[in-house]
Amino acid sequence: MTLDIRGSLKNTKISSDGYVVLEELISNSIDAFLIRQHADPGARSLVVSIEAEISSSGLLGDGTDISITCTDNGCGFGDDQADAFVTKDTSYKDDLAIAGIGKCKGSGRIQYFHHFERVGVRSTFRNEAGVATRTLLPDAARKKIDVADFIITGGDERQIGTAIRLEGLRDATRAKLFKTEALADVFSAANMRRNMLIAFLQRLVSLKSQLGEFVISFETRHSNGGVERSSLSAADLPEVTVVRSTEVAERDPQSGDPLGSTQTFTLSHYRLDAQTYDLPRNAISFCARSSPVLDITRRYLKTVAEQNRPVEGFHHIVLIEADLLDRRVNEQRDGFHEIPDEMPVYDLFTDATVAFADIFEQIDPIIAEMVTPSGWSKDEVIRDVADKFGVIQAMLTDTDTRVIYGDTAKSVAERVLKKYQERIVADTAEIFDLRAEIETAEPHTADFRHKINELSWKYTSYLKTFDMANLSQLVVRRAAIVEVLKLACGRALAVQAVEDGQRRKDEQIIHSIFFPMRKDSRETTDHDIWLLSEEYQYYDYIASDKPLSQIEWDDGGKLFDPTIDAELAETLRRRTKDHSAKRPDIAIFGEEGSAIIIEFKAPGVPLDEHIGDLSRYAHLLAAKSNGRLKKFYGYLVGDTLDPLGMIGWKKFASGRSFFHTSALEDPDTGRMLGELYAETLLYEDIVDRASKRIGVYREKLQIDFSKK
């Protein structure tokens, strides 16, 4: 059997974990101890020694290098162990019926060669002939390792165990993993101890009774002669704070449909007093074989400060384990293969039945209960989601969307709307499938009515999903428009901040909020005339500051005589030169012969001085429509009104606005042309009416865009 070093380096990626070599060394030492105890039970405890030697390197001695030696009192390199060492894809440990031993593919030692130029072994073991020592000298030129490369000599029973020495850190590894940190700091005794406590906490706790009063010692020797020492022992292990389990449903990878089975995930939470446990960071990780593999701390603790500092005086370690993770861990032990981010997976050859999205959906609320910094409010995020995106609590419940620490209003809204989108797509697809089946059904059979009933329920479900998503958007949009109108009426929009001497455009701005200027309803359907009245947006034709002679009826004929614009201009010219080219700001027409006239006045312009405008407009529109228009509703809108100028008008019971009803007669013949109902409206009343109109929905959505 031969281990092809260069071939193994090509086929096994380097791990992204800077401490992977230490983890592999200690993990193998634990396995070796368990094997020894199984074969030769005795009152012994695990002893592992890690020695890191920092030395000077480079022509000028201004660089640093490191050598690491791991010594243990395990079973040593017997024949079986030596064969496994030189076999990359080995099943040696898989066949050992020993509780607590780590399963492996034999690829862990490839990380030794990824990190270091030279690997040496000295191991003493017991065999049928007695005790022997097997030695492999470090050699940078070695391309392959064969069992025959080991030198076998006599051994001392007191030395049973293994020492693995790694020398000469590779430049590529230094650049990839240790570019910004000094090796002396990374591999200080204290740092090695702190990080190995996190890495092996779960495994050491579960094996505490089998490992005895174990000691894992760490020693760092510096080139200046300094020595640091630290250790991790059985007495240092904390008790697990809480253990929780959750079931993750398995799904078909192509369709995403439930398979009716689940995978169990177990979460172990260690809440460690920072005064007692000097740890470098908090750690939340997916594990394989009781060891952390994929760190997901930043998903729950968003800032570097939260990740590295105690949370309310405690370090938190949360370890997530599952048989699925044990099976799917990759060779370099820094991730998992064939666990997709989401389902369904568009890969015909995948056998994945669980996605990370499904896992997170189950574990997120559990971890949120375990680790949540103070100062964060779930209710505040939910309010923000409703205010900014119209996603109400009912929608969160309907889509089973949980809000956890670190969520923003945007991220929550995206999750909710994505779920609705997926549901709508799925429902639509099912509806089309059912419709296709209905076409082939026979009406006189029971199956036909069954399909009809099923289709109706599908439609109902679809509409509920679709309407909930769209209603929230509609109400939030309207709430925003009301707030913009309120600001515009108070000249509080940024665009209304003009310098002295510049012409103000307040009336144009307010006009455009209701309906874009110089457009009609055939050019745009995006307007907010509902601010005045909900029913007006459904009228047949709306014109905003456009020549009335251009308006066509549905039959293609002109609504007004061609002379209407000239006569309108002449009518207004009698009043003032400033209005000689004006026409109604907004005119709305209905097939049944009604017209709505809206005239805006800029803030500060008295409405009582313009009450005759509505009557003049209505007279002219009635006379020039050839009898098509008979009912007129006029609105004079502004913010300034002198009640003394409103003789003959009646005041509304609430507010400061007035209304007036009058007949429209031809001034020359006395012929009845129609009737005008007119109102003076203050902008504040329109804002109030619009707010009340959407008030019920707005209250349910908890929307408020105004400044507090």
Q: Residue 280: left if φ>0, alpha if ψ -120 to 50, beta else—which one?
A: alpha
CA pair distance 573, 585, nearest whole angstrom: 17
Determine how β-strand 283-288 pairs with β-strand 291-295.
Answer: antiparallel
List the CATH code of the domain at 2-233. 3.30.565.10
- Range among 136-140, 392-396, 492-496 with highest mean pLDDT value: 136-140
pLDDT at 408: 83
Residue, of 426 and 705, whose pLDDT is higher: 426
Q: Does the pTM of the predicted model rise above 0.75?
A: no
Pick the more confident residue, 578 or 684. 684
pLDDT of residue 576: 39
| Distance in angstroms (rounded) separating the CA atoms of residues 189 and 227 | 9
The larger pLDDT score, comparing residue 623 to residue 466, is at 623
Q: Which residue has the higher pLDDT, 540 or 152?
A: 152
Residue 251 is predicted with a pLDDT of 92
HEC string of 607-632? HHHCHHHHHHHHHHHHHHCCCCCCEE
Whole-number pLDDT of residue 580: 38
Residue 562 has pLDDT above 80, yes or no: no
**Helix H or strand E encompassing 660:** strand 658-665
Count of Cβ atoms closer than 10 Å to residue 194 Cβ:
19
Q: Is the pLDDT of residue 30 over 80?
A: yes
- Dihedral, 473, 474, 479, 481 alpha carbons, nearest 10: 110
Task: Please work out, in degrees rounded to the nearest 5, the angle formed at the alpha carbon of residue 640 by the alpha carbons of 639 and 646.
Answer: 120
Asked if residue 574 has pLDDT above 70, the reply is: no
Least confident of 42-56, 357-371, 512-526: 512-526
Q: Which of 97-111, 185-199, 387-401 has the lowest mean pLDDT?
A: 97-111
Q: Mean pLDDT over residues 147-170, rounded?
A: 95
Please give the pLDDT value at position 130.
93
| Distance, CA of 209 to CA of 99 (rounded, Å) | 12
Is pLDDT above 60 for 191? yes
349-353, 483-487, 660-664: range with highest mean pLDDT: 660-664
Report the pLDDT value the prediction gives residue 578, as an integer from 0 to 100: 41
> CA torsion sign, 187 to 191 to 194 to 199?
negative
Distances (CA, A) of 59 to 62, 63, 608, 662, 704: 8, 9, 95, 104, 69
Task: Using the predicted structure, report yes or no on whether residue 577 has a pLDDT greater than 60.
Answer: no
Provide the 10 A C-beta neighbour count for residue 605. Answer: 14
